[in-house]
Structure 1
Amino acid sequence: MHNGDRAVLRIGVGVAIAVLVCYGLALPMPHLGCIMAWIVLCQGKPLPIKKGIVVGLLLMATMIGGVLMVPLLTHYPLPALLFTALLLYLLMLMGLKGKGMQAMLLITAVTIIPIAGLIEQSLAIGIAQMMGLGIIIGTVVNRFALALFPPQATHAAAAKVALAPESPHLLALRAVLIVLPVWLLALSNPAFYIPAVMKTVMLAQQTNTLAAKQVGRELVLSTLMGAGLAALLWFALTIWPSLLMLVLWMALLSLWVARRLVRLVANRFTPSFWSNAWVTCLILFGPAIQDSASGKDVWLASAMRCSLYVVVALYGWACVVILERWRPSGRPAAEPVPGG
């Protein structure tokens, strides 16, 4: 069996087990656990189980600590804004140094947890616990999947980005400018905009791996692809609404996405495109299940969320274009370089 096939099977089996655990145990906001598991499963080098559990617990504690930002936001909004912007900038730099997963989770703690705390403190703690648990589930599931489908050879080196000396700081600043306005918007209606903040964090990190001319197409199309996958998943689940069908359909669609992510199926899009599309699918599909359970109009709520995510993607594209035009002469933009 080809090593790429083994990677796809590991991801598919891992997603199935994560969905079974998160939804089967009726955990709060189970789609967040599935997203965290997906991120862990897509890592090139899996974490040891003990280290994954420790990392999950530490991140859980760190995210719960994000609740401490709520009084600062409530009573001192301007210092809270400046402090959040500084933390985002430092964490984006951390992500550019090869610690993307840790940076993304900490960015989530800085952005989503305080906003959730404005609604209810227990909601913020629940999100923190679910995301930390998702890391632990993803690590255990990844090890189990590796035991079933062990890799036989290392993957070819992925395309890297050659950056000018100032580029990491420019990229980090650009990512902050993409995330911060949506985060400020979320302060006005936290319940509606929490998924949008998570989507914006993913988009901001995606722009850091793309050349400027690729950004617009990938941000918008990956969002639309995710919406299409979520609609397909919802239609499929209406045939026989049950936990078993949810697990099977999620596993099937994740296999379809993973085949394109690891390039078993030739396509024009980068791995980050497919990863972002699947995360968008989960961000749309998870709340849709909650809307259905509470009697809300699923299609109207999903259409509003999808429209918001497309607007966020267009805004991210506009930020990249404007900042690229302001780039000082003599400092070339980041371009992909094949090989190592």
Structure 2
Amino acid sequence: MHNGDRAVLRIGFGTAIAALVCFGLALPMPHLGCIMAWIVLCQGKPLPIKKGIVVGIVLMATMIGGVLMVPLLTHYPLPALLFTGLLLYLLMLMGLAGKGTQAMLLITAVTIIPIAGLIEQSLAIGIAQMMGLGIIIGTVVNRFALALFPPHPTPAAATKVSLPPDSPHQLALRAVLIVLPVWLLALSNPAFYIPAVMKTVMLAQQTNTLAAKQVGRELVFSTLMGAVLAVVMWFGLSIWPSLLMLVLWLALVSLWVARRMVRLVANRFTPSFWSNAWVTCLILFGPAIQDSAAGKDVWLASAMRCSLYVAVALYGWACVVIIERWHPSGQPAVEATPGE
């Protein structure tokens, strides 16, 4: 079995297990747990046990710190804004230094948990627990799959090397400028904008691996592709609304995306395009299920969210173009194909 096939099976199986646990336990915003598992699964190599414990402790401390940010946001918004901006900048630099997975998880905790805490503290704690559960599921499935299907050794000549960007500080600042305004907007209506913050974080990470001329097509098209995938899953789930059908459709579509992400199916898009499309699909599909359970108009709410995500993608594109014209950053970081 080719390494790419193993990666696809690992990602699909892990997504199914994450969906079964997060949706089966009726956790708050269960699609976020699936996203956390997806981020871990796409890295391929599991963390060593000691390193995994350290990352888990740091992530948990960050999540707790995110809950403690709520009083600061309520009573001292300007210091909270500056502190959040500084954390985002440092974490973006961490991601550019080659620790993309840890940086993504910590950025998500820093941005999502405080906003959820503005709605209700128990919701913030529940989301923190669910995110941690998604990471645990992704890590366990990674280890189990790699033990069951060990990858074939890759010749040294064929190994891709990630090249550092020429201007990491400028790329990190650019990513912060993309995330921070949407994060501020989320403070006005946390319940509606939490998925938008997740979308913006993914876009900011994606722009760091793309040349300026690629950004517009990738950001907007990946958002629209995610919307198409969400519609397909919604129609599939409507055939027989049940947890089993939900898990099967999530696994099926994740397999379809993963095959293109690891380039088992030839396509002109980058792995980050397909990863962002899948995350967009989840942050559209998950709230749609909650809207349906609450008796809301699913199509109207989904159309509003999709329009918001397209606007966020256009905003991210505009930021990159303006900053590049003002001060070109040089070569962006080169990403390796997941699963190799």
TM-score (structure 1 length as normaliser): 0.93
- Residues 116-157 of structure 1 show CA distances to partners (whole Å, capped at 9, x for unaligned) of 111111111111111111111111122222233321233843
2:104 is paired with a residue whose SS is helix
Contact 2:97 2:164 in 1 (8 A): no
**Structure 2 counterpart of 1:93:** 93
The aligned residue for residue 67 of structure 2 is 67
Does structure 2 conserve the Cα–Cα contact (< 8 Å) formed by 1:10 and 1:149? no
Question: Which is worse superposed, 319-328 or 306-315?
Answer: 319-328
The one-character-per-residue Cα deviations of 1:297-319 (angstroms, maximum 9, x if unpaired) are 11111111110000000000000
Give the counterpart letter for 2:202 in structure 1: M
2:159 is aligned, of 132, 153, 157, to 157
How many pairs align?
335
Structure 2 residue aligned with 1:79: 79
Q: CA RMSD in A?
A: 2.0
Distance 2:305 2:198 in 1: 12
Alpha-carbon separation, structure 1, partners of 2:76 and 2:184: 14
Structure 1 stretch displaced more, 19-28 or 83-92: 19-28
- Percent identical: 87
Deviates more, 1:214-223 or 1:13-22: 13-22
For residues 93 and 320 of structure 1, what CA distance do their matches in structure 2 show? 17
Secondary structure in 2 aligned to 1:266? coil
Written as runs of structure 1 = structure 2, the 5 A alignment for 1:19-38 is: 19-38=19-38
The equivalent residue for 2:215 is 215
Segments of 4+ in structure 1 off by > 6 A? none
Report if the CA contact (8 A) 2:7-2:44 is conserved: no
With over 3 angstroms needed to count, the CA separation of the structure-2 counterparts of 1:54 and 1:17, relative to structure 1, is farther
- 1: CA distance, partners of 2:290 / 2:282: 12
Structure 1 stretch displaced more, 54-63 or 276-285: 54-63
Does residue 138 of structure 2 align to residue 138 of structure 1?
A: yes
What runs of 5+ residues in structure 1 fail to find an aligned partner? none
How far 1:276 sits from its partner (Å)? 0.7
Q: Which runs of 5+ in 2 are unaligned?
A: none
Per-residue CA shift, 1:63-107, capped at 9, x if unaligned? 122111111111111111111111111111111001111111211
One-letter identity of the residue aligned with 2:279: V
2:332 alignment counterpart: 334
Bigger CA drift: 192-201 or 149-158? Answer: 149-158
Matched ranges for 1:1-340 at <5 A: 1-48=1-48, 52=52, 55-56=55-56, 58-154=58-154, 156-158=158-160, 160-161=162-163, 163-164=165-166, 167-327=167-327, 332-334=330-332
Deviation at 1:111, TM superposition (A): 1.4
* Distance across 2 between alignment mates of 1:252 and 1:274: 15
